[in-house]
Structure 1
Amino acid sequence: MTATTAAITRAGLAAAGTRDRTGGPDEDGPRLLEHLMGWTLVVVLAMFVTRAGLM
């Protein structure tokens, strides 16, 4: 490993530790809304599967 590669690797690891998380649900988010939307998706998917004759 060259000195430049080692410096880039150290800088990348340091930056990764200080960044905020993105893409995941928040801990203090609207849980009720998430549950309702999830169950709505399940029901709609079940309707489509039933209508298509897959069950």
Structure 2
Amino acid sequence: MTASSATATVLQAREGLRARTGGPQEDGPKLLEHVLGWTLVVLLAMLVTQTGLM
């Protein structure tokens, strides 16, 4: 292994470690998100109809 290939390997390893940004996880609470989302939709629809915007 040459010095340049070792440097490239170290840089690739560092990039691999920094690849994740701490975003949302894949196995999050999907049911809770759906329930809260639909609740927001229903509340918005009720607000629109009560104020006579539609």
Residue aligning to 1:39: 38
Note the residue ranges of structure 1 that are not aligned, 5 or more in a row. Answer: 1-13
| TM-score for both structures, normalised by structure 1 | 0.58
**Cα RMSD (Å) of the superposition?**
2.2
Deviation of the 1:20 alpha carbon:
3.6
- The structure having more radius of gyration, on CA atoms, is 2
Deviation of the 1:19 alpha carbon:
5.7
Where has structure 1 moved over 6 Å in runs of 4 or more?
none
Aligned partner of 2:50: which letter? R
Give the number of equivalent residue pairs: 40
* Structure 2 CA distance for aligned equivalents of residues 25 and 42 of structure 1: 23
Note the residue ranges of structure 2 that are not aligned, 5 or more in a row. Answer: 1-13
Deviation of the 1:30 alpha carbon:
0.5
Deviation of the 1:26 alpha carbon:
2.1
Aligned partner of 2:45: which letter? A
| TM-score for both structures, normalised by structure 2 | 0.59
